[in-house]
Amino acid sequence: MRISAYRTLGRLFVGEVVPQKKHKLVTTGMYAYVRHPSYKGWGMLMLGHSVALTTPRSFLAAIDVWSSTLGTIVALMLVRLWMMFIPLLCVRTKREDEMLRQAFGTEWEEWAKRTPYGLVPYVW
């Protein structure tokens, strides 16, 4: 999902939330379903890694990391990452939507009406 977002945006895909030279509003591909598919892909990747690391049949469980101090630290770090990720994601998507709304005005507002969800269709 994240790679598809990279490909759809091309040179417009950057780490900073700022308009680029000759910026255009991309509303095709996954951007026709959610406004922030790259962030959704990132979140799914983080969730997948967390599940893969913490399930009873994971590699870390097989080597009995979870009964150690190191295992406890890793588990707490995963929980902390998720606790930080969700609020940061909310702030970043809101900031990016505002920047795009200011840059594209009515074009962005029409797209936001057609694509009302930031990350998860019918949820958020």
Q: What is the pLDDT of residues 43-80, one digit of tens each?
A: 888 888 777 777 888 877 787 877 888 878 877 887 78
Q: CB-based contacts of 53: which residues, under 8 Å, 6+ apart? A: 59, 60, 74, 78
At 35, the pLDDT band (50, 70, 90 cuts) reads very high
DSSP 56: T
Q: Has residue 105 got a pLDDT over 70?
A: yes
Q: Has residue 93 got a pLDDT over 80?
A: yes
Neighbouring C-beta atoms of residue 36, cutoff 10 Å = 22
Q: pTM (2 decimals)?
A: 0.74
- Is residue 73 within 8 Å of residue 79, measured between CB atoms? no
User: Residue 64 corresponds to which amino acid?
Assistant: D
Tell which residue, 15, 17, 43, 12, has the closest CA to residue 28: 12
At 11, the pLDDT band (50, 70, 90 cuts) reads low
Q: CB-based contacts of 92: which residues, under 8 Å, 6+ apart? A: 17, 39
